[in-house]
Structure 1
Amino acid sequence: MEMTVKELAKIVGISVRTLHHYDDINLLNPSNISESGYRLYSEDNLDRLQQILFFKELDFPLKKIKEILDDSSFDKQEALNMHKKLLMNKRKRIDQMIQTIDQTTRHMKGEINMTKEEKFIGFDFNKNEYEAEAREKWGGKTVDHANKRIYNLSETEKKSKEEEMNEIFRAFAEYRETSPESEAAQSIVQRWYDYLNANIDYEYTLEVFDGIGEMYVADERFAKNIDKFGKGTSQFASEAIKAYVSKHS
């Protein structure tokens, strides 16, 4: 039985806007269009959306997810097995951390004594083996935002960098009623691209930058934060970035 975009959004728990965006970038196209022009989604669409969201949990950009799912060699069962390993590993760490909280509470009440090491059971700052395997198989370069350079700054320097970033998004907000392809808009995008490559310890290629722009509208958390500068800022910034990438590719 086919589903409308609203029905699919309700089942999955994501926004209609996100599904529209996935259709626009050919990541998830509806199986049919009704005579009235409404998008209609099939069970196969539902399965593909599940895979999209699993890969998003691994921080893959939407463009990369599309490449993976469109590859004729993609194995759904293999991917599901990998996702299961990752989730089980995550559950194990969460269970350990809950136990550490319980033990810490008893320690604070004087009921037990904890060693220094026991206070940190469950914390894991290393990449787990399954995540590494998944990234090696599908990811090539990861899109983890390695912020080591910023972490090493002083508090004053961090505040300065944060204000510089806010100024850029205030500029996006100021020009959000103009064309994203305008000279002013593209100048702001250039500032943002330069900022990322200068301050984040990661190589922001045009492909990665394009993926970031897509997240500004596809990920509600990004959209909500960016739209604090002004409603519609996230959409404008996303379109301006896409225009920049298209022009420089």
Structure 2
Amino acid sequence: MPGAGDADGLTVGQVATRLGVTVRALHHWDEIGLARPSLRTAAGYRLYTAGDLERLHRIVVYREIGLGLDRIGALLDDPATDVPGALRAQRAQVTERIERLQQLGTGLDRMIDAHERGLLLTAEQQAAIFGPDWDPDWPAQARRRYGDTAQWRQYAERAATRSPEEWQAVAEAMGELERALGDAMDAGVAPGSPEAERLVERHREVFASYFPLTRQMQVCLGRMYETDLGFAAHYDGVRAGLATWFRRIIDADARAHGIDPDTAAWQ
């Protein structure tokens, strides 16, 4: 608040500097009648008094706690206004905003963590959800390999908001798909057949839990499933020869949609 030694006759620029507001704001408050300078010079320039400055200090405080200018005017000028009640209501709103910002901060922390770690689950949770053969170092390996790609960012953003129960549902959906693939191979389902195409489409739908998968990207995955030792061992563990059969039905589906598997790229 202004002290007793404040002299009358402060210019708009001087007041703006003292209060940390813009000259434009002071002119606006003057125009709407919220805070008008009380003095004028002989040349017609307006000057603020100590009383004006005290009112301006209150306006600045009320504005900083989030009150609108109309509400501020009522608090300052309407004797019927319940000032403590209005301030309590504003405090309640501020408390709600603080809680929302804290929740936002928590969400941002999880997003940062997901981008850096890939999977916000403990090693014990990962083993329980994905099975004992799961390598808890896989997310770190994937980040080192794919961390600068759009797909990693999409994956991380999904991972940041996914609960262990939701990850369990993803794992179960993928497990059901793999069993269906094995059963189809055992039944002699031919690449390019309607049933094989439905399985390829189902794979894209299930895989979308990680990030959207185009047919060209799916072809690239099919190659990796067959040639990468870890993936090949996983699929061949479901059924002997499944990795190669899976790649073949993906390639046949791609050809049916005008994509040459030999030239397909990650796009």
| TM-score using structure 2 length | 0.38
Greater gyration radius: 2
| TM-score using structure 1 length | 0.40
Q: Relative contact order, CA 8 A, sep 6+: which one is greater?
A: 1
